[in-house]
Amino acid sequence: MKNRIIDAIGNIDDELLEATDALRASNKRKNSAIIKWLAAAACVCLAAVSISLVFPRKAASDNRVQIWKDGYSAEDYFKNTAVSTDIMAEEKSDIAVPYAERRYFSDNRQQYEADGVIPVKDKNRRFTALANYNEDGSLYSLELAWHYDSQIENYSHLSVLAGLKEVPEINDCIFIETDENGNVVKPGLTVTERDGIKIIARGGRADKSISFQNASGWYRISGSWNDSYEAVTELFEWFWAHPVNFDDFTIEKGDNYTQTGLTDYLNLLSDEGSDSEDFIFSAFLPDFKRFGYVIAGNSLGMKNNEPVSFNVSVLSNLTQEEADAGEYTVGQNGCEMIDWTIDSEAFEGDTEGVKKLEELTRDSVLSLKPADEVTTQTRIRYIQEGCLVTIYTTDVELAWELIESIR
Amino acid sequence: MEDSEIVELYWKRDEQAIRETEKKYAAYLKRIAANVLYDFEDCKECVNDTYLAAWNSMPEHRPGVLSTYLGKLVRQISIDRFRKNTSKKRHASEYELSISEMEDCVAAGNSPEEELDVKLLSEAINSFIHTLKAEERHIFIGRYYYFDSVKKIAGYCKSSEAKVKTTLYRLRQKLKDYLVKEGFDL
C-alpha cells in the first residue's frame, strides 16, 4: 500500500510541483556557490598533496606515505578510509566534453583476455571498452568497465580510466558523502610508494579508487559501492603488472557508432519500395503502409557504416503530408503511434527471459500493462533472428495485428 | 535553448532534442535519480532511460514545463529500477527512508488494498495537498515526491530540521485521516 501511495504522489499536479521545484532551485543556486567554494578548497588541498608527492622530502605530510613491501594487502592500500552515512548529488557546472571523437572496442573482450590486455572477469558479464580522442586523432582517454547488475546483492561496477597523462574529471554532477549530522566527509587518502611510484588510494562509500602514473601512462581504477577494496586492488595489481599498450586503441581500430537521418530509407519500408530486399531490416518490419500507417520518423544506427539497429515511429489515420507537417495529436481523431526498434547488438542480459517471435501469443501480448503512468505506453519485446525487437505502443491490439503479419 | 524549442525538436523527431535535453537537464535529473537510488551508475542509466522515454513519448505528449515532465519520468524510472534491484534492503536511500515513513499512514506490507486504483488515490492526494499551506506543500512534495533529505528541505524552506520532521509527522497523520475520510480502507 505504501508503494501505491508513493506511486500516487508521482501524479501530483504539475503546478504544485513547479512551485516546489522553483523553491528547491533557488536554494540550489546558493548551494552551488558553496559547492564551488568547497571545490576550490578541495583543489587547494589536492595541490598541497600533489606538492607533497612531488617534493616528498620537503613536505610536511611525508609521514603519510607508506612504503610497499611483499604481502601488501588491500587493507594496506586503503589504510585511511572514510565512514559516511549519506551521499548527496550536487550540480557541479556545465563542462564541455574535452574530446572530439569516440570509438568502441567492447566486441574485442575475448581477444583482449586471450592476449592478456585485460583480466578475465566472468562474473561481470557486461564489458565496455571505449576510447576518446582529441581533434587530431590522438588518444585523450581510455575507459574500461566490467559491470553486473542482474542481482542487487552481487552488483558490481569495476572500471579503469587511463591516458598518457592524468585525465581530468568531466562529470557535471558530483557526489558528496556526509556523516549522520550532514557534515561533508572526504574519502580517506592513503599514499603508498612502490618501486619509486606514488600510488594514491581514496577510500569511501562513493569514491573507492586507486590512481597512479608510471612510464606507460596514468591510471585510475575504481569500484562501486558494492565492490570490495580487495576487488579494486586486484584490478589495480593487474594493470600494474600489465600496462596498457595505448597503440592497441588507436582511432582506426575502434568501432564507430553513428546515427543517420534515413531519408533514403523511407521508401524501403513498404513493399512498394523497389529495393526493399536490400534493406537489412525489411523482414523485421510489418508493411505499415498496408495497415494504413504513415512514417513519423526513423533512425538507423550504424556501426562502421553498417546498419546495426533501426527505429521507426508510425502514425495511424493520417496522410504522410499531415505527418510531415506535424499537424496531428496522438490519441485524438484515431491517431495512434507505434514505435518499433530492432537491435542486432542487444546485450545478452537484456534479452534474458524475452520470448522468440514465434512463441508470442495474443493473450500474452494483450495482458501486458503500460510501462509507466506517465507515458501510458506498453512495451512489447521479442527476439527475431537473434535481434531484440522492442515495440512501444498505446494500442496493444493494433500492435499485435502488426506483429502477426510478420510471423 | 528554451523548453518549447526542445519539445519542438522532439516532435520533429530530431535527435538534437536529446542532446539539448542532456545539456540543460542532466544534472537536475541525476539529482532526482540519486535521491531514489544509491548507485551512481544506476542513476546515470536511469537518466539515459529518461531521455529514451522522452523520445518515445513526444509526440504524443507536448509538456508545458519540460523540467517537470522529465522529473516525473526520471522519478518513475528510478523507482522502478529501485524496486527491480532491491530484493534485499542493503542501503538506505532517501527514497527508502521516505517510503518507510509512509507506514505511519498505512498498514505495512501487502494487502488487498494493494489493488487500489492509483488514479483514485492520486486524485485524493492532489485534493489533500491543495488543502495545505504553502510551506506544508513544499515540505510534503520535497520529501515524498523529490525524496529530498530533511536537512535539504530545511535548507530551502528556511526552517529547522526539527520543525520539518514535526511537520512531516503531522502531515502523514493528516493524510491518513483524510484518506480514511475519503473512503480509502487503509
Q: What is the pLDDT of residues B130-145, one digit of tens each?
A: 999 888 999 999 999 9
Give residue A182's pLDDT: 65
Average pLDDT (A251-273) is 67
d(Cα A384, Cα A317) in Å, to the nearest integer? Answer: 28
Q: Do B65 and A14 make contact, defined as CB atoms within 8 angstroms?
A: yes
Decide if B119 touches A, using CB distance below 8 A.
yes
Nearest to A2 among B34, B42, B103 (CB): B103
- Sign for the CA dihedral angle at A108, A114, A115, A116 comes to positive
Contact B68 A18 (CB under 8 A): yes
Chain B residues within an 8 Å CB radius of A128: none
Amino acid identity at A202: R
Q: How far apart are CA A67 and CA A98, in angstroms?
A: 36
List the single residue in A157, A298, A375 with the smallest CB-CB distance to B56.
Answer: A375
A405: Cα within 13 Å, side-chain hemisphere: 16
Nearest CA in chain A to B104: A2
Across the range B48-57, mean pLDDT stands at: 88
Cell of A259: 546515427
- Tell me if B85 and A6 make a contact (CB, 8 A cut-off): no
A27 band by pLDDT with thresholds 50, 70 and 90: low
Mean pLDDT of B50-68: 86
- How many CB atoms are located within 10 Å of the residue B59 CB? 22
Residue B103 — very low, low, confident or very high, per pLDDT cuts 50/70/90? Answer: low
What pLDDT score does A82 carry?
77
Q: Which residues of B touch A17 (CB under 8 A)?
A: 68, 71-72, 141, 145
Q: Best-predicted range by mean pLDDT among A35-39, A43-47, B37-41?
A: B37-41
Distance, in Å, from the CA atom of B20 to the CA atom of B54, rounded to the nearest integer, reads 12
* Closest to A65 measured CA to CA, from A57, A18, B123: A57
B-proximal residues of A, 378-397, CB under 8 Å: 392, 394
Which of A273-287, A328-342, B36-50 is predicted with the least confidence, judged by mean pLDDT? A273-287
Does B160 touch chain A if contact means CB atoms closer than 8 Å? no
In chain A, which residue's Cα lies nearest the Cα of B8? A326
Joined grid coordinates for residue A223: 569500484
Q: Does A271 touch chain B (CB under 8 A)?
A: no
Of the spans A1-15, A333-347, A362-376, which averages the highest pLDDT? A333-347
pTM, to two decimals = 0.57
Partner-chain contact A225 B38, CB within 8 Å: yes
Q: What confidence category does residue A245 fall into, taking pLDDT thresholds of 50, 70 and 90?
A: very high
Nearest-angstrom CA–CA distance, B63 and B57: 10
Q: Do A6 and B105 touch (CB under 8 A)?
A: no
Angle in degrees, 0-180, between the axes of helices A14-54 and B66-85, rounded to the nearest 10: 70
Least confident piece of the model among A173-187, A231-245, A267-281, B111-125: A267-281
Alpha carbon distance, N-terminus to C-terminus of chain B: 46
Say how far apart CA A235 and CA A381 lie, in whole Å. Answer: 36
Taking a contact as any Cβ pair under 8 Å apart, which residues of chain B between 74 and 103 contact chain A?
75-77, 79-80, 83, 85-88, 90-91, 98-100, 102-103
Residue A67 near chain B (CB below 8 Å): no
- A13, A259, A313 ranked by CB distance to B126: nearest: A13
Is the pLDDT score of A36 beyond 70?
A: no
Chain A residue with CA closest to B142: the answer is A20
The reply to whether A128 touches chain B by the CB within 8 Å rule is: no
Does A167 or A132 have the greater pLDDT score? A132
Cβ distance A130 to A103 under 8 Å?
A: yes
Residue B30 pLDDT > 80: yes
Cell for A299? 533512425
pLDDT at B159 over 50: yes
What lies within 8 Å, CB to CB, of A54 at 6+ separation is none
Percent of chain A exceeding pLDDT 70 equals 74
Burial of B113 (0-12, 13-18, 19+ CB in 10 A): middle
Nearest CA to CA, how far is B41 from chain A (Å)? 8
The answer to whether B91 contacts A299, with C-beta atoms less than 8 Å apart, is no
Model pLDDT for residues A368-401, shown as the tens digit of each residue = 877 555 556 788 999 999 999 999 887 888 899 9
CB contact under 8 A, B53 and A372: yes
* For residues B85-108, average pLDDT: 61
In chain A, residues 134-153 whose CB comes closer than 8 Å to chain B: 147, 149, 151-153
Q: CA of A93, closest CA in chain B: separation in Å?
A: 9
Q: Å from B167 to nearest chain A CA?
A: 16
Length of chain A: 407
Judge: A20–B145 Cβ closer than 8 Å, yes or no.
Answer: yes
Compute the average pLDDT of residues A168-178: 64
Distance from CA of A45 to the nearest CA of B (A): 25
Strands (E) located in A251-370: 257-260, 293-303, 306-316, 337-343
The answer to whether residue A59 scores a pLDDT higher than 60 is no
Residue A320 confidence (pLDDT): 81
**How many Cβ contacts (< 8 angstroms) between chains A and B?**
200
Q: What average pLDDT does the structure give for chain B?
A: 81
ipTM over the 0.85 cut-off: no
Report the range of poorest mean pLDDT among A19-28, A272-281, A368-377: A272-281
Q: Which of A82-91, A118-127, B21-30, B73-82 has the lowest mean pLDDT?
A: A82-91
Measured between CB atoms, which of B118, B126, B137 is closest to A4? B118
Contact B122 A8 (CB under 8 A): yes
Task: Over range A200-228, report the average pLDDT.
Answer: 89
Measured between CA atoms, the residue of chain A closest to residue B43 is: A89
Q: Sort strands A293-303 and A306-316 into parallel, antiparallel or unpaired.
A: antiparallel
The predicted structure's pLDDT at residue A278:
56
Q: Does A113 touch chain B (CB under 8 A)?
A: no
